[in-house]
Amino acid sequence: MDLDRLPALGDLGWKNALTQAAMGFADELVPTRVIEVHRSGLIVAPDVEGQTEFVLGGRWYSLPADERPTVGDWIMIQPETQSIEALLERVSLIKRRSPSGEVQPIAANIDTAFIVTSCNADFSLARLERYLAVVRQEDIQPVIVLTKADLTAEAEIYREQTQSLGNDLVVELVNALAEDDVSRLAGWCGPGQSIALLGSSGAGKSTIVNTLAGRALQDTQASREGDNKGRHTTTRRSLFQLPSGGVILDSPGMREFQITDADSGVQAVFEDIEELALGCKFGDCAHATEPGCAVRAAIESGELEERRLESYFKLLREDRHNTETIAERHARAREFGKMVKSHVLTKPKLQRQ
């Protein structure tokens, strides 16, 4: 590897551990970071001998989508053949189950996730829990950013509701256009740090990018009047360098964000319920009508919201369904069929009178 490239790589979030990994490849291969993914190929930085776009060869498309390079990935490129030869091991991967049923990678090698939502009708505790589960699964530092705080007299109420999701949760209340407000996020954007913005369209993600950068890197657009629903302005995921030394990834708002392979993340987000369950009388308590259920007792006493338990169950079911392979699903169906068949065969027949 050309060690002269290391300063430029450091500006893009290169970590020391990656140097050793890159040394394991042939000297002629060049490490670079994916900053955009197009249908025609990948945009990388720093460029390789003046070239910034590389075609993703056919062999990559034989792999599952989450094993192909995505924004934030570090890849090894062969300049002579202009080919992408290898994908360096990821530290983290934010992903979702797409509406088509495929696992879709969102961002790789992220240190901190700014989960952005507005102080208006867009606000949803259930959606925040969903994002938190995905982020916690990958050991990424979550920061909840509540935007448009200047447009409501109830900003502190939104903060209190968000803080109820965890006492150790970092919550920042900002006007995304105000430099003084957004500067409170700068502590997570230092040299070598990689940040991802997650949230609905119109929540202010692109405005945060522009304010942190001190210039217009992304187009912005106001939410619709009446329902505060966001309009899609950002059309693709892109990684930008910040004056503070970090890099930040902006992405289009996702109206549907189904989780997959995030069971430990769900457990981390609902740690309060997990701890309460330890006090249940029965180890397999379903927290429904069982006697001695500590979770139901907490709901009845007002210590725990019914909404939170319902969200916990919903995410667990969704994760189990989306993570289960087709083969596992078929096997479960076969077992269920055998159980039904066995029940029918052993059921006593009614004698005719």
**What angle, 0 to 180 degrees and rounded to 10, lies between the N-to-C axes of helices 125-137 and 306-323?**
50
β strands within 157-288, DSSP E = 170-173, 194-199, 238-241, 247-250
User: Looking at residues 9-15, what average pLDDT do you find?
Assistant: 93
What number is the average pLDDT over the span 277-299?
Answer: 95
pLDDT in tens, 196-241: 999 988 899 999 999 999 988 876 555 444 545 544 455 678 999 9
Same domain for 233 and 102, yes or no, is: yes
Residue 178 to residue 283: CA distance in whole angstroms: 51
Task: Give the residue with greater pLDDT, 285 vs 234.
Answer: 285
Range of the domain at 224: 97-250
| Whether residue 46 is found in the same domain as residue 171 | no
CB 71 within 8 A of CB 45: no
Beta strands in the chain (DSSP E): 30-37, 42-48, 51-54, 74-78, 83-87, 93-97, 103-108, 112-118, 141-147, 170-173, 194-199, 238-241, 247-250
Say whether both 267 and 241 belong to one domain: no
Q: What is the CATH number of the domain that holds 304?
A: 1.10.40.50
Could you tell me if 244 and 267 lie in one domain?
A: no
At residue 34's C-alpha, the angle toward residues 28 and 37, to 5°, is: 125
Which residue from 108, 92, 109, 113 is spatially nearest to 185, judged by alpha carbons? 113
> Which whole number is the average pLDDT over 257-278?
96
Task: For residues 104 and 175, state if they share a domain.
Answer: yes
Mean pLDDT value across the chain: 88
d(CA 263, CA 228): 32
* Last-in-domain residue among 65, 89, 113: 89
Q: What is the pLDDT of residue 201?
A: 85
Least confident segment among 5-9, 50-54, 63-67: 5-9
Is residue 349 pLDDT above 80, yes or no?
Answer: no
Give the per-residue pLDDT at 3.
64
| Same domain (yes/no): 143, 21 | no
Residue that is last in its domain, among 61, 89, 117: 89
Least confident span in 86-100, 305-319, 331-345: 331-345
Residue 257 maps to a domain: no
Asked if residue 42 has pLDDT above 60, the reply is: yes
Q: Are residues 238 and 134 in the same domain?
A: yes
| pLDDT score of 303 | 96
Mean local confidence (pLDDT), 135-150: 97
What is the percent of the chain with per-residue pLDDT over 90, rounded to a whole number? 73
> Could you tell me if 63 and 137 lie in one domain?
no
Q: Which of 73, 89, 105 is the last residue of a domain?
A: 89
For residue 333, what pLDDT is reported?
A: 59
Instruction: Identify the CATH number of the domain in which residue 186 sits.
Output: 3.40.50.300
Residue 35, in any domain of the structure: yes
Is there a cis peptide before residue 31, judged by omega within 30 degrees of 0?
no
Instruction: Give pLDDT tens digits for 66-98.
Output: 999 999 999 999 999 999 999 999 999 999 998
Whether 146 and 226 share a structural domain = yes
Query: How much is the pLDDT for 14?
Result: 95
- Please tell me whether residues 280 and 332 are part of one structural domain: yes
Residues with Cβ within 8 Å of residue 150, at least 6 apart in sequence = 175, 178
Q: Which residue is it, tokens 């192909």?
A: 68
Share of the chain above pLDDT 70, in %: 86
Number of domains in the chain: 3
Q: How far is CA 35 from the centre of its chain?
A: 17
In this predicted structure, the answer to whether residue 344 has a pLDDT above a threshold of 60 is no
Q: Are 132 and 270 in contact (CB under 8 A)?
A: no
Q: Which of 172-176, 202-206, 295-299 has the lowest mean pLDDT?
A: 202-206
Instruction: Tell whether 351 is covered by a domain.
Output: no
**Using DSSP, how many helices (H) and how many strands (E) does the chain show?**
11, 13
**108 and 36 in a common domain:** no
